Amino acid sequence: MKNIFQKIIDGEVPCDKVFENERIIAFHDIHPQAPVHILIVPKKAIRDIMHAQQEDSELLAEVVFVAQELAKKFQIEKGFRLLTNNGPDAGQTIFHLHFHLVGGRTLGREA
């Protein structure tokens, strides 16, 4: 069964999209933890960081530059987090690799 991000990628479920190209889609998180909380999602079905392959290097690098552009676009370039939860113990709930771009407020030192 498709997970929710796969359905968003396939256009079957709507999202508040802020970026898309052939390889990556980005949209606002439905339950934002900060004024800016965007999910950057490689379209390739990779479960999590531990399932990424060497051949995904370019794709993963591109995520960084998409994050950079979105940080500028949403004016959080002075302070933001780009993070991914790997596995249930880290709080991953959707098993399709994605990166949280979080900012727009002072971020504490807590995990």
Question: What is residue 37's DSSP assignment?
Answer: E
Q: Using the CB atoms, write b or e for 72-94: b if 16+ within 10 Å.
A: eebebeeebebebbbeeeeebeb
Span 54-83, contacts to ligand 5GP by CB under 6 A: none
Pairing between β-strand 17-20 and β-strand 24-28 as defined by DSSP bridges: antiparallel
Nearer to ligand 5GP among residue 30 and residue 61 (C-beta): 30
Span 12-31, contacts to ligand 5GP by CB under 6 A: 15, 27-31
From the candidates 37, 96, 98, 100, give the one annotated as an active-site residue: 98
Interface residues toward ligand 5GP, by CB under 6 A? 4, 15, 27-31, 39, 85, 91-94
